Structure 1
């Protein structure tokens, strides 16, 4: 159950961050409301996740997967460049999350 809550928190955070791109500095109402709602849901779900998961593990997964997802969305859908350095960075973020999980207590 905690991983399902965490996955939902990541989806909400990615949605909020994507909406931020379209808010034009919070000058557009609907995308701005999407940012607020996305982050409200994300932090609520993350807080629920922390009841049964270590904070280091949960945050590493949340931040790492969210970062990788936003970078991929930017490259695939928002016209951002896909360089070898960016792709390597995504791989390193994912590797870091895996290493943190392997090093955690079970």
Structure 2
């Protein structure tokens, strides 16, 4: 939605971006109650980067290049590696 705001000149996409950021930070704060900071931030930023790149290609015709093809699985793989190697027990 940030791209659709045109520099926060359009009202409705701007409101959606602000709400989206508020929800994202709230959800991160909830995750931090049970996950270590490094792991939570790695998941948040890694998944956010990967999803943003894919949505850019699908919705905004961003170019898909060789760096994205090999880079996105590396980002996701590193997040999975961090998650599986974490010694912190996550309570359910």
TM-score by length of 2: 0.88
Aligned residues: 88
Task: Could you tell me which runs of 5 or more consecutive residues in structure 1 were left unpaired when the two chains were aligned.
Answer: 1-18
More helix by share: 1
TM-align CA RMSD: 1.1
Determine which structure has more spread, i.e. the larger CA radius of gyration.
2
Q: How far is the alpha carbon of 1:73 from its aligned partner?
A: 0.5
TM, length-normalised to structure 1: 0.78
Alpha-carbon shift at residue 49 of structure 1 (Å): 1.3
Correspondent of 2:19 among 22, 33, 37: 37
Give 1:76 deviation, angstroms.
Answer: 1.3
Query: Which runs of 5 or more residues in structure 2 are unaligned?
Result: none
Moved beyond 4 Å, runs of 4+ = none
